[in-house]
Amino acid sequence: MFHKILVANRGEIAVRIIRACRQMGIKTVAVYSEADREALHTLLADEAICIGPAPSLESYLNMERILSATVAMKADAIHPGFGFLSENAKFAEMCQKCHIAFIGPDAQVIHKMGNKSEARKTMMEAGVPVIPGGKEPVHTVEEAMAAAEAIGYPVMIKASSGGGGKGMRISRSAEDFQMNFQNAQMESVKGFSDDTMYIEKYMEHPRHIEFQILADKYGNVVHLGERDCSIQRHHQKVLEESPSAALSEELRRKMGETAVRAARAVGYENAGTVEFLLDKDKNFYFMEMNTRIQVEHPVTEMVTGMDLIKEQIRIAAGERLSVRQEDIHVSGWAIECRINAENPEKHFMPCPGTITNVLLPGGNGVRVDTAIYNQYKVPPNYDSMLLKLIVHDKDREAAVAKMRSALGELIIEGIDTNLDFVYEIIGNEAFQKGDVDTDFIGKYFPAY
């Protein structure tokens, strides 16, 4: 097992990782920027080292500084968390060259899954259903238009290096295709220095269903059931739940087996997520694979009773999976709400500042993952997520009631948050019936 892990992240996920390490008897090193001297992860780790100024590019994204810190502090592994360097193949490769364990999949696998058109092709060849569309990527508007005609409108134009909605456009007819393709491609060149695009059939009102995977170094792969992340705003997830109200036991088994096949197809190791779109007729299609631990992992932990961060660490240290598929049982229902420092009345503009008062909910089956505290100053340089509120109960109705109660107890003063907005979603009749798709917020909260 590792002796010391450097946590290459900040905020609640850094705290989450530090706690897991401490429980496992592993020493921790926090890295922090000049803006994070008083951050909870800096204070909580056994040791902490400053890696540069506030801007992420000069600190949490600076590979050389993080590797130097790892060597200087004599850590033998790096946990990258999510965001920042977590899906950076070059960083994973640099870790390997420095004989530091990167707690995540192999650099080549990260690279392969980061290229969305290549991932799609790999999955097609592995017999994993993908969204109808072309097999090969396109570079010119002529090639793309021919692909769109073959698929039939409406189509979705996507950037191969994209993800999270960047470099993505819908085209509903040949008339609007050229403009949408050019805009998507320009966005991709600007954002990712890559003009590689691919075309898919546009799926109307799908659900976003993702499966949690764990895979060890010895070819053992299991899934831990699904998360329904359909409620998103501008590709930012707001609320996630496990299981999904849309899946029957049979569909869950089929999708789970497909997710395991997807992971096997690329020789996956560590924790990962296979994203699917599920259409009205319950057809499911592979969309992307995320090669990191995700923000919403706690809902899976609540229903399976497993600790995903500890599993990640054990896998990276060369241990075999502690469970077989038949040992994994999803019990009850879990829901997570993301509370962000942002103002819903001002287009969800981030609202950093000093938290003058915080009161957290608690009780049976209520979990709060956060790095905020009284008088903490939320810096303006990073993601605006402040806190994840997760509840677990015997069924969906009870979990919704518990979330409502817990949100009602939560007090964050001094800065604006999306707390009231999330509370309204929980109170929404369609949500309570489990009737959600990716257009939920647009449909019921058009003002937002």
Q: Could you list the residues that contact ligand MV4 (CB under 6 A)?
A: 131, 156, 163-165, 200-203, 206, 208, 232, 235, 287-288, 438
Q: How far is the CB of 104 from ligand MV4 (least distance, A)?
A: 20
Q: How far is the CB of 275 from ligand MV4 (least distance, A)?
A: 7
Catalytic, out of 16, 252, 292, 367: 292
Q: What is the CA radius of gyration of the chain?
A: 21
Q: Report the residue number, 157 or 355, with the smaller CB distance to ligand MV4.
A: 157
CB 101 within 8 A of CB 78: yes
Q: Report the residue number, 59 or 86, with the smaller CB distance to ligand MV4.
A: 86
Q: How far is the CB of 243 from ligand MV4 (least distance, A)?
A: 17
Q: Report the residue number, 148 or 287, with the smaller CB distance to ligand MV4.
A: 287
Q: How far is the CB of 122 from ligand MV4 (least distance, A)?
A: 17
The H or E element spanning position 90 is helix 89-97
Measured from the Cβ of residue 73, the count of other Cβ atoms closer than 10 Å reads 18
Q: How far is the CB of 154 from ligand MV4 (least distance, A)?
A: 9
292 is catalytic: yes
What is the greatest pairwise CA distance in the chain? Answer: 62
Distances (CA, A) of 2 to 46, 80, 318: 15, 15, 10
Which string of DSSP letters, residue by residue, matches 259-289?
A: HHHHHHHTT--EEEEEEEEE-TT--EEEEEE
Q: Report the residue number, 158 or 310, with the smaller CB distance to ligand MV4.
A: 158
Q: What residue type is assigned to position 135 of the chain? A: K
The SS3 assignment for 335 reads: strand
Residue for token pair 């993702």: 210
Distances (CA, A) of 6 to 89, 102, 237, 353: 18, 10, 28, 28
Q: How far is the CB of 87 from ligand MV4 (least distance, A)?
A: 13
- Cβ within 8 Å of residue 374, ≥6 positions away: 355, 356, 357, 358
Sheet strands side by side (includes 155-159): 169-171, 155-159, 197-201
205: left (phi over 0), alpha (psi -120 to 50) or beta: left
Q: Report the residue number, 203 or 351, with the smaller CB distance to ligand MV4.
A: 203
Q: Report the residue number, 288 or 301, with the smaller CB distance to ligand MV4.
A: 288
Which of the residues are catalytic?
292
